[in-house]
Every structure is written in structure tokens, then in C-alpha cells.
Structure 1
């Protein structure tokens, strides 16, 4: 049985390792640069004890004792940490970059790691607490299928993508456009709604629109109609922004929406499709490729 070690033992590493332990994976190890410093050290030690994880004193000690190294830290540290530990890696090891970094960063890390070990770009595509090791993950790069097969043997949900490192993290970044933006749109809507005591009514209305039917069909129709009716909706957003300004409510998301609608107008979607929404939203890419 291959052994796994986590570089960084934050929320994601803890939850994933605890889930894997419950599925029968033993011998999980971790090194966290802050585990011997308080107050963070107490948190790390408590997590490790709860998950049955052995804490190592250094990254070198950790790497020496495991077959799979999983780097799970802050995205801005992905490259520096790879530079620090690359010389400790062995050709028979797999180095998994689990960080929420963009594809360019993952490619840069691969260049550092690949001369020493097999590199895998892994992206977490959901919320780890609650899902633990079963959170959906995507893997790309040379070792993607191998790591997917191994972790899935312990109940994980890793999908190996065909293609180079960076592809998995690219999918996560593009998903974040919606997921992070969606939360901020909701926030802007309820803050504005609060001015009239309508915040809950606004959420109910949104729920009734989005929670019915097949999401993929709904998304297709919303995108297809959105690009066709962009000019009218841009003018409607002018009214929204004016309303928010009159209420002294930050209109950042609404202004961005207006600007994106203006961009749609400039692409000439309405003219290309003769003012009729395309049946398949994929058809808009032909317009963008002109």
C-alpha cells in the first residue's frame, strides 16, 4: 500500500486525511511549517491526533517516508515550496499539487518537480468539510490516472482528465468565475433588498427561477437568450445601478454585469443570429472566433 504525506495540514488536508483513514488508509503523515508555533500549532496537533496522522519535523523528513506527496498550502506558496522540496523528491514518487492555483502556476510547479518526481495537477471542485475525501476532484498531468485509481480505491471521487498539467486547475478557475461571482451577486441583491425590507422576497424569487427544471438546459437557454437580448438588458442595468446609487448601495457586481452586456453587444451576436437565440449555446463560439 502506498503511503501519503501532506505538505501543509490545513482544513483540506485534515478533512481528506480523516476520510481516507476511515476508509482504511493508514500511515498518513504530514508536515506543516506552523505546527510547532502557537497558537496555530495546537490546532494542527489536534487535527493530526483526530485524523490519526503522524506529524513530521520537516518537509525533508516527510518526503523521505512517503510515496505520494500532496502539497496543500496557500496558492501563492505553491512555487516557493516546490523549489524548496524538489531536491528531496525521488523518481518513484508522485507529487500532487492540490493548491487552488491557476494553470500557469501549476505548469510552473511541474517544471520544478518533473525532473525529480511524477507531477499531478489536482483541483478540488467542491467544499471539503462535509464531503472530506469524497469531494469531487479533477486530476491532470502525467500521473493523473495513477493517482485517481489509487485514491478512488479508498472511496475518493477523482476524475482523471486527458491532457497536460494545468487543465484540472483551469477547470476550477473557470468554475470559480461563477461560484464566487454568484455569491457576490446574491450579496449585492440582498443588501439592496434590505433597504425596502425585501431581502427574503428577492431570494425566494431567485430560487423559483433557478431551482426548477434541468440545470444544463436552463443554463443553455439563459446564455443563448442573454447574448441576443444584451442591449435591452444593458439599459435595464443602467436603471439597476441608478437605483443602487440612490440607496447608497455598492453596485460593483451590477456595473460589471452592465459592462459584460455591453461586450456582448459589441460582439454582434444579435445580428449574427438574426435576433433569434441559438438552440445550442456552443454556437456563440463561432461568432467569437471571427
Structure 2
């Protein structure tokens, strides 16, 4: 049977694992030191706890972790890359092309091969045919051929390593950037007593935008802890050519850090839900 290791058992990692497992794939993972909640989520997704030696016997390794943890995954897998015939490694995290190139060089130095991957869409769920995994670079076709039979839509992009991460930076910058901007202005309107009038005007002139944000913003809060690093990656992606734009996404990174802290403290979420429900 095909064995696709997934490093990371968060919402996306476990969702992808469940999709692969339900379609007949073995999905080993690393769970040493992880919380009871993570272990339960992994088990529910059909993931099997494995050692590094067992990970080394996989046909493919996918990394699906918060962006700030992605480079540490490479170091954790160093003994795997050092083995003869090490499995191909696909980093599917929201990182800039520059970061992916640095990681690929490190993987090569350790003896392995890395493909650039980017996931766009929500975690797999019943009656939802997404998300899409975009891959590029040497070995991208191998990744797609390995994963596609197990129900995860994997698409090969033209271009060298970095093309998938560039797509993700641009898409994520728009999608999550808009969500952050709308949230910031709603919170400001509430602080200044303009919330009722703002919602009325948005309903008249921008209901197309608010229709999506009413559902999306509340789901952002429990995920904001990993969106901050992604925003800073986007800023780094923009910085060489557009420093003012990069500053916007650095600010959004800090904004999401604050939302994560508010969520951890049990603050703000219920208020924003009530605001959006008006």
C-alpha cells in the first residue's frame, strides 16, 4: 500500500490525512511530545504514530505545519534525508519563495530532495472536493502522481521551485489580508460608536463583501496564531520590490498576533460574532 507521511496534525494536516486514509493510503506521522488533543485528532484522521525510521520508509513526506515551524521540520527529518533512497519531501506550508529556496538547499545538504507545495482552500471535509495542493520544481510530477489517486487534488505548476509559494503568498495576502482589514475596521467602528452605521452602509454598498466575512471572521480567531507568521512571510515576499506594501502585511502579522492573544484570553470573539450577526 502507498504510504504518505504527513508531519503536522492540525486542522489542515489531519484533514488531508483523513482524505488520504479514507481512500486507502497509510498515513504515518510524528507525535512525540504532542498534546493529548493532537494525538486524538491524529487518531481520528487515521494517522499512525511512527518513528523516524518508519517515516523513512514512506513513499512521500508532506509537511503541513504552522509556517513558523516549517524549517524546524527539516531539521527533525535530517536522519531521514541522510538515508539512501530517502522519500521525496514536499513542504506545503505558507512560506515565501526565498524561504522555500533556503529550505530546499538545506534538504539537499542533508541528502534529500524537496518539492515546493502550497495548499489553497479549506481543510478536506465531507461534500467538499477541495483543497488544492499546488506543486512545482523537480519532483513535482512525482508528488502529484503519488497523491492524486487518494482524493487530494494536486496540480503541477509550470516554473521552478518557488512558483507554488509565490501563488500562495499572493492568494493568502489577498484572502487573509482582506479579512484582517475588515476585522480591524469593524473593531475600530465599535470602539468609536460607528458600528451600527458602518454595518448599514456596508449592507447597502458592500454586501458582496460582508456576506463572506460574516462567516469567515469568526473562524479566523482560533487560527490567528499561525496566520501572523504567514503575513510576515508575505511581507518578506513583497519587500524587495514594494517596501510600503510589505509594511502593510507586517502590520497585519502583528494584528493577527493580537487576535490570537485575545482568543486565548477569551476576549473579543463573542463580541465580533454579535456584531456580524446584526
TM-score range with shorter-chain normalisation?
0.5 to 0.7
1:144-223 matches, cutoff 5 A: 144-194=140-190, 195-196=193-194, 197-204=196-203, 205-208=205-208
Q: Is the 8 A contact 1:30 1:62 kept in 2?
A: no
- Provide the residue aligned with 2:33 in structure 1: 34
TM-superposed CA distance for 1:31, in Å, is 0.3
- Provide the residue aligned with 1:233 in structure 2: none
1:241-252 matches, cutoff 5 A: none
Distance change >3 Å, CA 114–CA 163, structure 1 → 2: farther
TM-score, with structure 1 as normaliser: 0.63
- Provide the residue aligned with 2:237 in structure 1: none
The one of 27, 37, 43 equivalent to 2:37 is: 43
1:1-290 matches, cutoff 5 A: 1-25=1-25, 27-35=26-34, 40=35, 42-56=36-50, 58=51, 60-89=52-81, 90-91=84-85, 93-114=87-108, 116-128=111-123, 130=125, 134-194=130-190, 195-196=193-194, 197-204=196-203, 205-208=205-208
TM-superposed CA distance for 1:192, in Å, is 4.6
Q: Is the 8 A contact 1:75 1:99 kept in 2?
A: yes
* 1:137-161 alpha-carbon deviations (Å, 9 max, x no partner): 2111111122112222222112111
Q: Which runs of 5+ in 1 are unaligned?
A: 212-252, 257-290
Runs of 4+ in 1 over 4 A off after TM superposition: 208-211
Distance change >3 Å, CA 130–CA 199, structure 1 → 2: farther
Q: Is the 8 A contact 1:17 1:133 kept in 2?
A: no
Q: Which has the higher contact order (CA 8 A, sep 6+)?
A: 2
TM-superposed CA distance for 1:72, in Å, is 2.1
Q: Is the 8 A contact 1:134 1:155 kept in 2?
A: no
SS at match of 2:155: strand
Q: Is the 8 A contact 1:122 1:138 kept in 2?
A: yes
Q: Which runs of 5+ in 2 are unaligned?
A: 212-244, 249-278
Q: Which one has a bigger Cα radius of gyration?
A: 1
Aligned length: 206
- The whole-number CA distance in structure 1 between the counterparts of 2:129 and 2:15 is 7
- The whole-number CA distance in structure 2 between the counterparts of 1:152 and 1:106 is 23
Q: Is the 8 A contact 1:191 1:199 kept in 2?
A: no
* 1:26-60 alpha-carbon deviations (Å, 9 max, x no partner): x211103432xxxx2x112212221222112x4x2
Q: Is the 8 A contact 1:193 1:202 kept in 2?
A: no
- Provide the residue aligned with 1:226 in structure 2: none
Superposition RMSD in Å: 2.8
TM-superposed CA distance for 1:123, in Å, is 0.6
